[in-house]
């Protein structure tokens, strides 16, 4: 059976450490679902077959005097600071990272608050430089990352806002709409050089193929190449074959 957070906390105190790999805090949460003590909800969820509801936490245990008490920022017995930042809604204790609680998101976000705005349609806090400059998709964060499958809305990992409006934690192409996730211009130029320096065998030199561009959605007919086929409209190599290969009659 996995060790409880009480045991983990005792070992941490012996090492002169506090908190866990996820958060820096001076208390353990008493899980309302199973009455076990864990440093955080993530530690709990990694060791149990159910999830801890952060909003239902009522009690914590001080890691120094071990007194169980109502969730609050400072120990009522020994004055240990449980967290430089404390949210009495999420019951988030951590070192100061300019966090703030977003009422629309329903959870805490890493700030500073003035650098972010909440998009009501996307239902997500976004950087101020994206205000009026992003493609809105309704409730876009209320889904799992299509690559790592982690819940985007509550994840501690920063999600990237793609030009197509979708979100993901990592990757260069959106797996939902297949649009390029980043500015790939520099890479496309490198690929131009590689294609030029890699001639195809003679039996393929006059072969053309119809392609569909995932970036501009345009269709074009181009010369087949094993390294990639470049869109004639937007110069992207983020393309897919849309028809069979054929030999140009002009070169037969």
Token pair for residue 195?
Answer: 């294609």
83 and 141 together in one domain: no
Q: Which of 123, 218, 188, 47 is nearest to 240 (CA)?
A: 218
- Do residues 168 and 153 touch, judged by C-beta distance below 8 A? no
Structural domain contains residue 3: no
- Domain C-terminal end among 35, 70, 94: 94
Structural domain contains residue 35: yes
89 and 135 together in one domain: no
216 and 232 together in one domain: yes
Q: Which residues span the domain enclosing 226?
A: 201-247
Structural domain contains residue 114: yes
- Domain C-terminal end among 94, 123, 139: 94
Q: What is the CATH number of the domain that holds 231?
A: 2.20.28.10
- Domain C-terminal end among 147, 168, 189: 168
49 and 79 together in one domain: yes
Structural domain contains residue 162: yes
Domain count, the chain: 3
- Distance from C-alpha of 185 to C-alpha of 162, rounded to nearest angstrom: 15
85 and 110 together in one domain: no
Structural domain contains residue 45: yes
Structural domain contains residue 32: yes
pTM: 0.63
pLDDT tens per residue across all 252 residues of the chain: 444 444 544 444 433 458 898 999 999 999 999 999 999 999 999 999 999 999 999 999 999 999 999 999 999 999 999 999 999 999 999 999 999 999 999 999 998 999 999 999 999 999 898 899 888 989 988 888 877 778 888 887 777 787 788 887 767 788 888 888 777 888 888 889 888 888 888 888 889 999 999 999 999 999 999 889 999 999 999 999 987 777 654 544
Structural domain contains residue 161: yes
Alpha helices in the chain (DSSP H): 5-14, 41-47, 185-196
Strands 160-161 and 167-168: antiparallel
- Distance from C-alpha of 52 to C-alpha of 28, rounded to nearest angstrom: 13
- Do residues 100 and 113 touch, judged by C-beta distance below 8 A? yes
78 and 115 together in one domain: no
Number of other CB atoms surrounding residue 128 within 10 Å: 10
Structural domain contains residue 146: yes
103 and 116 together in one domain: yes
- Do residues 117 and 125 touch, judged by C-beta distance below 8 A? yes
């Amino acid at each position: 059976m996995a060790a409880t957070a009480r045991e983990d906390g005792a070992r941490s105190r012996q090492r002169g450490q506090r908190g866990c790999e996820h958060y820096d805090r001076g208390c353990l949460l008493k899980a309302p679902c199973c009455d076990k003590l864990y440093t955080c909800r993530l530690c709990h969820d990694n060791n149990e077959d159910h999830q801890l509801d952060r909003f239902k936490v009522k009690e914590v245990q001080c890691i120094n005097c071990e007194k169980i008490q109502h969730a609050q920022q400072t120990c009522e017995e020994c004055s240990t600071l449980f967290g430089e930042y404390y949210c009495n809604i999420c019951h988030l204790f951590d070192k100061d990272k300019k966090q703030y609680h977003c009422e629309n998101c329903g959870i805490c976000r890493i700030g500073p608050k003035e650098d972010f705005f909440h998009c009501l349609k996307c239902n997500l806090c976004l950087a101020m430089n994206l205000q009026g400059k992003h493609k809105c998709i309704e409730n876009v964060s209320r889904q799992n990352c299509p690559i790592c499958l982690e819940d985007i809305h509550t994840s501690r990992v920063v999600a990237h806002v793609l030009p197509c409006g979708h979100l993901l934690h990592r990757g260069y192409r959106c797996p939902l709409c297949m649009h390029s996730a980043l500015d790939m211009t520099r890479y496309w130029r490198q690929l131009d050089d590689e294609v030029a320096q890699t001639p195809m065998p003679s039996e393929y030199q006059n072969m053309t193929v119809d392609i569909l561009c995932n970036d501009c959605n345009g269709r074009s007919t181009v010369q087949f190449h094993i390294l990639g086929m470049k869109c004639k409209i937007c110069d992207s190599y983020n393309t897919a074959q849309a028809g069979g290969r054929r030999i140009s009659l002009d070169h037969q």
